[in-house]
A and B are shown apart, each in its own frame.
Chain A
Amino acid sequence: MNQLMGGVMAVLGIYRAFPLVHGSQGCANYVKNTLAKHFKEPVEIATTGFYEISAIYGASDIIESSIKNILENRDPDLIVTMTTGLSEIIGEDIQRELKRISENIHKDNNGTYLVGVSTLSYRGTHIDGYNNTLKEIIKTITEKNKEKNKKLEGNSLKSDKINIIPGFVNPGDVKEIKNILRKMNIGYRLLTDITTLDRPLRLPKERFPKCEATVRDIEESPNSKSTLSFGMEGIDGAKYLETLGVPSYNLKFPIGIENTNNFIKTLSNISGQEIPESLWEDRGYAIDAIVDGNDVLRNKRVAIFGDPDKVIGLTNFAFEMGMEVVAVLSNTETPHFISEIKKISMENNGKITIFEGGDLYQLHNYIKKRPVDIIIGDYRGRYIANEERIPLLRVGFPVVDRHGYHRKPMLGYNGALRIAEDIINLLIESSEDYEGLSIFKNYY
């Protein structure tokens, strides 16, 4: 997916924030459509309505009228303008435009932050988009609040809270992270919280869906004790906060037992809180499920594809469960993907074929030659799964052809429990022989 998708996910994860896509109507609507299908929730993404005339004469006027329109009709706390390939290629400087616009509409603007991000479509993927957008949001907001924050620093009013950047994940994952933090009794500031796209149906409809990440949280994020981020997703934001004096910890995604142990230990070290009994229980449940399914899981060949950092986590977890990972595919090129996978492979005496920045056609061709028992990835694996009659475990984003997958966690011990159970059941289903079960078999 393109950078825009990641950018929009970052913006939608903040309460009362509004994404504005500076490009053709299709750019905004395609992203909106995919998000709506995955989350089964209404999504609003504004477009600047870029037509031929803007391509010729420049598009600064349509950004201005878009922002005015949004301020008038929606009155959000934050408007994030994201560019596309179309607006980038005509050479527009979004930061300069926004500076000019914010001076122009100074009077009408009731304290709404205007952020501009370059999310060009011809470089990077949704992971980079999330990373860049979140960094720009943090940078713009904290810069405006520099004075205020300095005063706080002077009064040594630094709070004990921890900034958490959950990454490009599902609402189920964010809930699981919150769950762990609450159980450990740690104060936190979520910098994005995509539970906005998993809301209960209660009338009347909310104007802005609720979540725990607010613009205020981002304003105050430099006062936190430290920042936690996972993999490449949001690392730039965490590094930026480091320049403001907030130490950052970059962990692997807490997928599987070991990685979650690590996450919880780090939390415990930073906050000085003990690991509570209830988390040990959760861990026990997950391990119990994996052990009980050991005869189904062991020696099964698995292919994994998706976002690089989640693939790293899932690969590690698959080995933990006794499975044999034979092929991994990352949709994004990152500096550490290949080395991390090789490291995991060495530790587990595995032999993994690695496709970096590749497509599913490569993976399909690989699977045709060397069959696997199960595929783990998003719903687009269904084309391979159907053709080769291999079960597919749907994880991550997007899963548009099933319901409720955005609520299923991948992170934490509960995520490990869910993934283990789902894999076990899929493997059992795929090996079941219903003909053999028929009691009438002999009579017909």
Chain B
Amino acid sequence: MLYNTEENCNKNILVENRDTSKAREQHEIDTSSYCKYTQPGNSTERLCTFHGCRVVICNQIKNVIHLVHSPIGCAYYSWDYRSQSYGYGFTTDIQERDIIFDSEEKLYKAILKASEEFNPDAIFVYETCIPGLIGNDLQGITKKASEEIGIPVIYFDCAGFKGATQNEGHKIANRQLFKIIGSKKEEFHSTPYDVNVIGGFSSVKEAKIIEDMLSKIGIRVLCSFTDNATIDKIRVMDRAKINIVHCTKSSMYLAKMMYKEYGIPYIKGNFFGIENCSMTLRNIGKALNIDKDKVENFIIENLERIKEKLEFYRENLKGKRVFISHGAQRVLNYIDPLKNDLNMDIAGVATYFGNEKNYKEILKKIPKGTVVLDNPNSYELERAIVESDADVVISDNHIRYLVHKLGVPFVYGRGGKKSYVGFDGFINFADEVHGAINSKIWKLIN
């Protein structure tokens, strides 16, 4: 499975973990050899389509009942998978008798009961593997229920076994949520500076920082899809002038659909990192014809404020080796800021799901001889981290404790309590990385 060995230290090796001997012999890097399906028997970090739909995209939408049509497990684990969940988790709790007799009736009753007790703006119904296999007619039930209770009841046909990764779930969520865009018929006062930020799925806090930043240069965010979204906000998304696509992997579909249907153009934006953030603000300013000086002044003002701190971190983190393990899009977003803004070296990259295009882009950005792992199992990841001699690992919480057991500092890449977007956010991030590397405890392990 290896990489970075002496004979091939001057090239990037994309490791496809199902055929490990091949990777070693490859003379040219074959980015098309990414692994679409997980090799049976691996302990992967990938999740299912249901997760991509319910947890990644839909869970952040407020005042909505997220009713999971599943046995107890799917609802239990996904409910507060990410800690920003609130209130109750809802499930139809499918039992054996329901499978044999009637799980549709149970779902219908659950929708009515939930709407009666909690008075939500909408009800989202998620299909899971079992209703997917026994063929429940979610479309019919949700339509009938919606007519009965008078609020939108949206179904997501996101059975877990569909598709190779959670990415399939993103598509389904985008497709279904697209249907409620533009459904607000009332008068709406729009301005020439209205935008949507699409594809931020981390936290409300992060969305508010971006909204706040944009409002300083006179831009109004109609909806942060979906980290600060409600049904009402999603409904008016069609009134925006442009869409800013934050995570292209999970929400490009929506941006494209909106372009096709409403003619709203989209630009890619990335608010992580000093350079990225300045660049994105400039691009948005250009797209909306905002006075150039206004944008530049805002950027300079911010850079002035954080200059001293940034210089400190640049000096102290210079040459430190960082290993990034995230989804392909997040890896791409993180490489440049770490390299250019913080002066760090990339020790290695691992992603759970990327496609050929992602890997081509990643390979362009990282130095030769750096390991790139595609959907690694925990053993491969372990070896890669140890052998790449990383000073710090940036990743999701999935692998936090594995990294700790290897005695390597870990930084949670999504932020959690602190947010990492914007100018001040990046200083937070640098502070975390600096703090993690310099904690004394790592020296005491052995």
Contacts and interface: CB of A to CB of B under 8 A. Distances in A.
A45 B46 CA distance: 12
Contact of B76 (A2, A20, A50): A2
Interface string A293-323: 0000000000000000000000000000000
Contact of A46 (B43, B166, B401, B405): B43
A306 to B, nearest CB: 14
Interface stretch (A28-36, A159-167, A213-221): A28-36
Contacts of B398: 29, 33, 36
B47 interface: yes
Contact of A205 (B73, B99, B130, B405): B405
B160 A27 contact: yes
Interface string B395-417: 00111111011110000000000
B73 A30 contact: yes
A1 interface: yes
A439 interface: no
B219 to A, nearest CB: 36
A249 to B, nearest CB: 32
B401 A40 contact: yes
B267 interface: no
A123 B77 contact: no
Interface in B355-404: 377-379, 382, 397-402, 404
B94 interface: yes
Contact of B445 (A43, A54, A69, A201): A201
Interface residues of A, number: 64
**5 nearest CB pairs, A to B:** A26-B48, A69-B41, A2-B73, A66-B41, A30-B77
Contact of A86 (B38, B133, B378): B133
B65 to A, nearest CB: 12
A2 B72 contact: yes
A85 interface: yes
B382 A205 contact: yes
Interface centre among B42, B44, B83, B446 (most CB of A within 10 A): B42
B41 A67 contact: yes
A50 B128 CA distance: 13
A41 B401 CA distance: 5
Contact of A27 (B48, B49, B95): B48
A50 B161 contact: yes
B114 to A, nearest CB: 11
Given A49-B38, A85-B73, A203-B446, 8 more contacts: A25-B160, A33-B397, A33-B398, A36-B401, A42-B401, A46-B43, A67-B41, A86-B160
Contacts of A225: none
B39 A69 contact: yes
Contact of A85 (B41, B129, B397): B129
Given A26-B160, A37-B397, A203-B446, A44 B43 contact: yes
A280 interface: no
Given A27-B160, A86-B160, A122-B95, A47 B87 contact: no
Contact of A29 (B46, B164, B404): B46
Interface in A38-62: 39-52, 54-55, 62
Contacts of B43: 28, 32, 44-47
Interface in A89-134: 89-90, 120-123, 125
Interface of B: 37-51, 71-74, 76-78, 81, 83, 87-88, 94-96, 98-99, 129-130, 133-134, 160-166, 377-379, 382, 397-402, 404-407, 445-446
B222 to A, nearest CB: 31
Contacts of A33: 77, 81, 397-398
27 contacts: A1-B76, A2-B73, A23-B160, A24-B49, A26-B160, A26-B166, A36-B398, A39-B401, A49-B42, A51-B37, A51-B161, A51-B162, A66-B41, A67-B41, A69-B40, A73-B377, A84-B129, A85-B129, A85-B130, A89-B99, A90-B133, A121-B71, A122-B71, A125-B72, A360-B88, A383-B87, A401-B83
A49 B39 contact: yes
A296 to B, nearest CB: 32
Nearest to B52: A26
A68 interface: yes
Contacts of A68: 41
Interface of A: 1-2, 4-5, 20, 23-34, 36-37, 39-52, 54-55, 62-63, 65-70, 73-74, 84-86, 89-90, 120-123, 125, 199, 201-203, 205, 360-361, 383, 401
A236 to B, nearest CB: 19
B47 A29 contact: yes
Contact of B407 (A52, A62, A203): A203
Instruction: Specify which of B87, B378, B397, B445 lies most central, judged by the most chain A CB atoms within 10 Å of its CB.
Output: B378
A190 to B, nearest CB: 23
A67 B39 CA distance: 11
A62 B41 CA distance: 8
Interface centre among B40, B76, B78, B88 (most CB of A within 10 A): B40
B133 A89 contact: yes
Contacts of A31: 77
Central interface residue in B47, B51, B73, by most chain A CB within 10 Å: B73
Contacts of B78: 30
Contacts of B164: 51
Interface centre among B38, B44, B161, B446 (most CB of A within 10 A): B161
B77 A70 contact: no
Contacts of A67: 41
Given A201-B404, A205-B382, A123 B95 contact: yes
B73 A1 contact: yes
B18 to A, nearest CB: 9
Given A4-B73, A30-B73, A42-B378, A24 B129 contact: yes
A424 to B, nearest CB: 29
B45 A29 contact: yes
Contacts of B134: 89
A42 B42 contact: no
A62 B38 CA distance: 11
Contacts of B378: 42, 44
A108 to B, nearest CB: 13
Most chain A CB within a 10 A radius of its CB, from B38, B88, B379: B38
A321 to B, nearest CB: 31
Contact of B48 (A25, A32, A73): A25
B74 to A, nearest CB: 8
Contacts of A41: 401, 405
B77 A34 contact: yes
B160 A205 contact: no
Given A27-B73, A46-B41, A205-B382, A123 B96 contact: yes
A29 B72 contact: no
Contact of A42 (B48, B87, B166, B402): B402
A39 B72 CA distance: 22
Contacts of A73: 41, 377, 379
Contacts of B401: 36, 39-43
B40 A65 contact: yes
A32 B42 CA distance: 13
Nearest to A31: B77
A203 B44 contact: no
Contacts of B407: 201, 203
Contacts of B51: 26, 29-30
B369 to A, nearest CB: 24
B77 A46 contact: no
Contacts of A199: 405
A201 B409 CA distance: 13
A84 B164 CA distance: 18
